[in-house]
Amino acid sequence: MVNPNKVTERLFQSPSKYIQGPYAIHNAAKYLGKLGKTPLLICDEIVWRIAGEELVGALEKSDFKIHRIVFGGEASREEVDRIAQIGRDKSSDFVIALGGGKTIDTAKTVADGLALQVAILPTTASTDAPCSALSVLYRPSGEFHCYTFFDKNPSVVLVDTTVVSKAPARFLAAGMGDAIATNVEARRCKNSTNFGGGLQTEVSSAICEKCEEILFKYGKQAYEANKAHAVTPALEAVVEANTLLSGLGFESGGLAAAHAIHNGMTAIEELHGLLHGEKVAFGTICQLVLDGVPTSELDRYIEFMLSVDLPVTFELLGIPHVKDEELRRVAELSCAESETIWNLDLVINVDFVFGAIKAADAAGRDYIRRTGWKKN
């Protein structure tokens, strides 16, 4: 239900400090020193080899004493509890997340439970999780579990674009899939409360619009630069859009159907191998269908998504033979009582969402047929 408590205050929230640039990890001590000297570092083994050793080397030169925890792979309550106990045992004075979205969401939840500050160092630009005061938790099986909300945003978000440029371009594209939903959702949430419990400010609306503008202007160029592992102005712009603008935009603007449908899609086991933003991209098409946008506008979004290899049909999602009963289950979960789909000022029910999901696939197939698009 849209704004059931009749809130009238506007609210905007953000991390205390955001830093982005090539080789930013080398200056990590400069930005993290005020948080403490004995951090709990959470990262997986792959990220450790990519950036962890470099980060620890930079921090140890400034007399940090780091305790590293190997992230288990799923942002679940069980993983949070395991890591939090180690943090207590080691008397850590702040938490560092080094990695992707699930590492970040886990670290934020751990830090909140320990009443510590958290520094977020993303190694990909694959989600808008780094800047927000919330985490998405999943069940160990990979299904969506819940949103977890915190009293404050991360103290520091530090993005090394040299590290980001070395990641597979699929991660940047997934970040664009997450970020392209930001304005689509927020512009339909103006009368709903955001994640801070207030209404949108003018600056949050402007941020959402700027995020979308950057993606359409530089998205394809940045994607190709990432494939070449090149840090360019286009890549810098898209990393900022994916990470900062989308993060500020969704949290202070609001989420709606695109993310609710993503959450429902996690019930399909065959989709567990997809990245968050790849599913959100398809959810965005579903929301555009629910919004009743003209075909020309729908085409514009589909064209953009295909240009960076985001899925716009069931086949491209990897579920060409998905059954109606599976899609209805997605629609049911999307319409759960606590879901963000209810931020939409529309008549919503399971049948409408089920129809939108099928119509989104049909729209994607129709665009591909009309344009002759073929995957490179």
Smallest CA-to-CA distance from 307 within 199, 216, 207, 202 is with 216
Q: How far is CA 319 from the centre of its chain?
A: 22
In the structure encoding, which two tokens stand for residue 210, read together? 């700027």
Which of 44, 105, 259, 361 does the annotation list as catalytic?
259
Q: How far apart are CA 356 and CA 354, in angstroms?
A: 5
What's the CA dihedral at 25, 28, 30, 35 to 10 degrees? Answer: 160
All residues at 6 or more sequence positions from 103 whose CB lies less than 8 Å from its CB, including other chains = 42, 43, 44, 47, 71, 75, 97
Is residue 262 part of the annotated active site? The answer reads: yes
Is residue 259 part of the annotated active site? The answer reads: yes
Which of 262, 272, 309, 324 does the annotation list as catalytic?
262
Smallest CA-to-CA distance from 208 within 183, 175, 179 is with 183
Which of 105, 128, 276, 361 does the annotation list as catalytic?
276
All residues at 6 or more sequence positions from 372 whose CB lies less than 8 Å from its CB, including other chains = none
Q: How far is CA 81 from the centre of its chain?
A: 23
Is residue 276 part of the annotated active site? The answer reads: yes
Query: Is the CB of residue 74 less than 8 Å from the CB of residue 142?
Result: yes
In the structure encoding, which two tokens stand for residue 335, read together? 């319409």
Amino acid, res. 332: E
User: Which residues are catalytic, by number?
Assistant: 178, 259, 262, 276
